[in-house]
Amino acid sequence: MSLLSVSGIQSWYGMSQALFGVDLDIAEGEVVALMGRNGMGKTTTIRAVCGLTPARAGAIVLAGDDITRREPFHIARAGIGLVPEGRRCFRNLTVAENLLAAARPGKWTMARVVELFPRLGERMEQGASTLSGGEQQMLAVGRALMTNPRLLILDEATEGLAPVIRKDIWRAIRTLKDEGQSILVVDKTMAELMPVADRCFLLEKGQTVWSGRPADLTDELQDRYLGV
Ligand SMILES: Nc1ncnc2c1ncn2[C@@H]1O[C@H](COP(=O)(O)OP(=O)(O)O)[C@@H](O)[C@H]1O
Ligand SMILES: [Mg+2]
């Protein structure tokens, strides 16, 4: 059984349809890359999975549990941890408060998050608004982990971050993968994404047009679906 199975989902923003049939699935312990040029529906797919832009057609099943059109808090509780595009920490809380607010029982604790991102440990009592963009992204990942998710979703995992911070985020993703964490990740850095991904799904105009292993993602496919 798949951990997450998305089949034929369609989503709209008001009158405007954004997804026309997205299919994807993630097995337990798998790292899956969701790819496609800007505006092709990656974020909308993630929003549908998390219940933020509910799918109007199709089905989303998490570990056998139909979560299509459930409330976002219910989906989070069912085991999906989201690191949204553009981060979004609670800016008027401290780093520690941000982490504690998300905490649910499991192997991920503050101590383990600090082990993964030592920089956060030095800033526990600082307000989140005083963090650099990279530190905020670490906090966003830490917060999602504090919920002890069955599936971690990262939308634009390293976008807009300094190169040294990007390295930290990719290192963390590799560590999580080695621990068996299931991950769905969107990112534009192919050179980092491909080695860590077990499988990829390509979106074009709100539809899944290809899926397979990174090794099978030919130059032709890349030109056609990812080229600018
Ligand atoms: N809040 C919104 N309101 C209306 N249309 C939107 C909104 N967000 C995204 N869209 C549209 O939905 C489509 C898919 O966008 P998105 O899922 O953000 O793509 P991606 O994440 O792949 O860049 C695009 O045509 C985009 O313009
Ligand atoms: Mg996006």
Position 135 pLDDT exceeds 70: yes
Q: Which residues contact 165 (CB under 8 A, 6 or more apart)?
A: 132, 133, 134, 135, 137, 138, 158
Ligand 1 site, residue 34, Cβ cutoff 6 A = no
CA of 35 to the centre of ligand 1 (A): 14
Q: Which residues contact 171 (CB under 8 A, 6 or more apart)?
A: none
Closest listed ligand to the CA of 18: 1
CA of 96 to the centre of ligand 1 (A): 33
Mean pLDDT value across residues 42-66: 97
CA gap 133, 160 in Å, rounded: 8
pLDDT, one tens digit per residue, over 145-154 is 999 999 999 9
Closest listed ligand to the CA of 11: 1
pTM: 0.97
pLDDT, one tens digit per residue, over 70-91 is 999 999 999 999 999 987 778 8
Ligand 1 atom 7: residue of nearest CA: 13
Specify whether domain 1-79+189-228 bears CATH 3.40.50.300.
yes
Ligand 1 site, residue 38, Cβ cutoff 6 A = yes
